[in-house]
Amino acid sequence: MADVPTLVEQARQGRPRAVARLISLVEGASPQLREVMAALAPLAGGAYVVGVTGSPGVGKSTSTSALVSAYRRAGKRVGVLAVDPSSPFSGGALLGDRVRMSEHASDPGVYIRSMATRGHLGGLAWAAPQAIRVLDAAGCDVILVETVGVGQSEVEIAAQADTSVLLLAPGMGDGIQAAKAGILEIGDVYVVNKADREGADATARELNHMLGLGESRSPGDWRPPIVKTVAARGEGIEEVVEALEKHRAWMEEHGVLAERRMRRAAGEVETIAVTALRERIGDLHGDRRLGALAERVVAGGLDPYTAADELVAAVTEQG
């Protein structure tokens, strides 16, 4: 068994091995998960969480690495969480990302962690926030969460972040296609990366047009900016940081940050509760209580809704 109070103390002092150990405990759903989360609860809440999403190859890892450099220059401690929701293995697609992050590997002010979430009970919504909390409690000022993969997982990750950055690149028509499919709505800041390639201006214009289409903003509303970058050369990255800071200030001014964090915590509690409830009900298979209820439903003595109410009552009573 791990000595959780000592690990937490060491993590607060910024010891990378303690941080890594705590993340392993929470992502592996260890029996000590609850002890870890209880110990971290009063320590977390200081970090600014930025989600970095976009199609594979668009430059997320390169941009994340450049953002780490920019925040480090500003003296911030930075956590990076690379999440692969499609794979049960930490490795694979994330290996290339490790290479792109390698310049930060020896920096004690940077924590880099990959996690695969497919095999996880409750999936991404369950696993990522726990790791974010560890990095937060360890004193990270900024946590960058990069997802590998597309689709629903990106939307889920965006829901975990205070600010979502959506990356597009010219010549990747799928970028705008994905955008049309609804991912467009999740961006607080848009980045057209690979601006050294032909078509970056056209992509930015098209994006600007699309963002304008759904516009029914009132004064004071956030208008997502579009920043052009060449992440591979670090160009435009300071502008991205500025856009992030502006969004954060806007959220604080309008109570949006608190609102998002409330919604996030509510979702997290709900996910954990539903997962626990489902587990308990699953435990009832083969239990005579479920069989007894089923018999009464078959005999017409009980309707399935009342039976379900009784089942829920039974599993919540057992404490």
Largest Cα span, the chain: 72
Residue among 10, 53, 55, 61 that touches Mg ion (CB under 5 A): 61
| Cα separation, 159 vs 147, whole angstroms | 12
Q: Which is nearer to ligand GDP, 94 or 244 (CB)?
A: 94
DSSP 123: H
* Least separation in angstroms between CB 60 and ligand GDP: 3
Residue among 10, 53, 61, 163 that touches ligand GDP (CB under 6 A): 61
| Cα separation, 233 vs 235, whole angstroms | 5
Instruction: Examine residue 98 and tell whether it contacts ligand GDP (CB under 6 A).
Output: no
What does 59 bind: ligand GDP, Mg ion, none (CB cut-off 5 to 8 Å by kind)?
A: ligand GDP
| Cα separation, 112 vs 93, whole angstroms | 15
| Short-list 100, 107, 45, CA closest to 78 | 107
Q: Contact region for ligand GDP (CB under 6 A) — 2-10, 107-115, 130-138, 194-202?
A: 194-202
- Dihedral over Cα of 241, 243, 246, 252: its sign: negative
Pairing status of strand 110-116 against strand 78-84: parallel
* Least separation in angstroms between CB 52 and ligand GDP: 8
Instruction: Examine residue 247 and tell whether it contacts Mg ion (CB under 5 A).
Output: no
* Least separation in angstroms between CB 275 and ligand GDP: 30
* Neighbouring residues of 77: CB distance < 8 A, sequence distance ≥ 6: 14, 109, 110, 139, 140, 141, 142
Instruction: Examine residue 96 and tell whether it contacts ligand GDP (CB under 6 A).
Output: yes
Please list every residue from 65 through 124 that binds Mg ion, using CB under 5 A.
Answer: 97
Instruction: Examine residue 197 and tell whether it contacts ligand GDP (CB under 6 A).
Output: yes
Q: What are phi and psi of 50, to 5 degrees?
A: -115, 125
Q: Which is nearer to Mg ion, 100 or 133 (CB)?
A: 100
Q: Contact region for Mg ion (CB under 5 A) — 60-68, 214-222, 228-236, 288-296?
A: 60-68
How many distinct helices (H) and strands (E) make up the chain? 13, 7
Cβ–Cβ under 8 Å, residues 136 and 47: yes
The residue assigned the tokens 């480090």 is 72
Instruction: Examine residue 59 and tell whether it contacts ligand GDP (CB under 6 A).
Output: yes
| Cα separation, 102 vs 133, whole angstroms | 23
Instruction: Examine residue 301 and tell whether it contacts ligand GDP (CB under 6 A).
Output: no
* Least separation in angstroms between CB 106 and ligand GDP: 20
DSSP 194: -
Residue among 11, 157, 186, 230 that touches ligand GDP (CB under 6 A): 230
Amino acid at 217: R
Instruction: Examine residue 8 and tell whether it contacts ligand GDP (CB under 6 A).
Output: no
Query: Which positions lie near Mg ion, rule CB under 5 A?
Result: 60-61, 97
Query: Which positions lie near ligand GDP, rule CB under 6 A?
Result: 54, 56-62, 96, 100, 193-194, 196-197, 230-232
